[in-house]
Amino acid sequence: MSCIKVHTTDFPGNYPGYDDTWDQEKFEKNFRVDVVHMTEDTLEFDMIGIDAAIANAFRRILLAEVPTMAVEKVFVYNNTSIIQDEILAHRLGLIPIKADPRLFEYKNQGDEEGTEIDTLQFQLKIKCTRNPRASKDSSDPNELYLNHRVYTKHMQWVPIGNQADMFPDSAIRPVHEDILIAQLRPGQELDLCMHCVKGIGKDHAKFSPVATASYRLLPEISLLQPIEGELAEKLRKCFSPGVIEVQNLNGRRVAKVANARLDTCTREIFRHEEFKNLVRLARVRDHYIFSVESTGVLPPDVLMSEAIKVLMSKCQRFLEELDLSQME
């Protein structure tokens, strides 16, 4: 039994029995992308026939180099809540904003005032009061107080310049309306103005467009000999549900690999000596299973296409630098 750790190589021929020499015709023939599952916020797809360095490049770009809009400055006019201004500003910065960053420009560092092409403005003005209709015997804050919970739905977009004409009323908003920002009590209030700018996760994690972006190699489980009877049931219990199934063949119960994809790198079989020469664990060296979970700013398939564009621009810039160095 063995488990393979895959990393990129500088020179081909490092792995015995595996040909990793670069050949464009071979790459074009073997490279494939299969979308396995996609929802509004999540995407799972297989990328087959690439090197580990390229797979990791996509992951890092998704995390740190695909831009989004996020709160950068918070102007606090009044804050009588128990949350300090700095903590409140930090919480507001981490709220994902539903705005297409491709429609905005990066703000210049020297510019104090934002414009309609590089800044979004939000206002949060709310005050907690007692509910005059609440029962005298009640101890439930939801009944006793009005506006005692401040949510992202209370953030109001304030268009700058011609933004009202550029975007529909509901286009610019927090991704989720039920994110709790603060809790207030009667007499406490918040009066804030927020400026959102375009940025990348490399500068601050609040600009990262994904909640998570990861990949793993496709598991490969090989049964070296037929496994029957009670041993087959024992093998099935060593893996996640659905990986191994036990079939009835001519009155015999025989183990079979049903779906190796569901394996979660379990090490349970290594505890049993009887499986030592019966099962081999490995990973398909060039088959990567990607999982992308968007924060909701952009759909995950759009994020992936933007990551590809970023990598292409990096390659183009590298080629231009090579040409310049050769001219010198």
**CATH number of the domain enclosing 218:** 3.30.1360.10
What's the CA gap between 189 and 244, in Å, rounded? 59
> What pLDDT does 3 receive?
42
List the domain range (segments joined by +) for residue 97: 68-208
Q: Which residue has the higher pLDDT, 151 or 6?
A: 151
> What pLDDT does 4 receive?
44
Report whether pLDDT(77) > 70: yes
What's the CA gap between 143 and 125, in Å, rounded? 21
Same domain membership, residue 300 and residue 216: yes
Least Cα distance to 287 among 219, 227, 214, 188 occurs for: 219
Residue 24 lies in a domain: yes
Tokens of 95: 């709220």
Query: In this predicted model, what pLDDT tens digit does every residue of 240-280 receive, in sequence order?
Result: 999 999 988 888 889 999 999 999 888 888 888 888 889 99
Task: Give the confidence band of 78 by pLDDT, cuts at 50, 70, 90.
Answer: very high
Residue 253 lies in a domain: no
Same domain membership, residue 175 and residue 136: yes
Q: Report the pLDDT averaged over residues 290-296.
A: 95
Residue 272 lies in a domain: no
Same domain membership, residue 152 and residue 92: yes
Q: Say how many Å lie between the first and final Cα of the chain, rounded.
A: 55
Same domain membership, residue 37 and residue 73: no
Assign residue 157 the CATH number of its domain.
Answer: 2.170.120.12
> What pLDDT does 110 receive?
76
| Sheet order of strands, 68-79 included | 68-79, 189-199, 120-127, 156-158
> What pLDDT does 165 receive?
87
> What pLDDT does 179 receive?
96
Angle of CA points 188, 174, 143, to nearest 5°: 40
Chain mean pLDDT for the chain = 90
pTM of the model: 0.85
Number of independent structural domains in the chain = 2
Same domain membership, residue 164 and residue 148: yes
Report whether pLDDT(111) > 60: yes
Q: Report the pLDDT averaged over residues 185-195.
A: 95
> What pLDDT does 138 receive?
86
Residue 297 lies in a domain: yes
Give the residue from 208, 242, 261 where a domain finishes: 208
Report whether pLDDT(84) > 60: yes
Residue 196 lies in a domain: yes
Same domain membership, residue 191 and residue 86: yes
Task: Give the confidence band of 125 by pLDDT, cuts at 50, 70, 90.
Answer: very high
Same domain membership, residue 315 and residue 216: yes
Query: Using an 8 Å Cβ cutoff, are 79 and 92 in contact?
Result: no
Same domain membership, residue 145 and residue 20: no
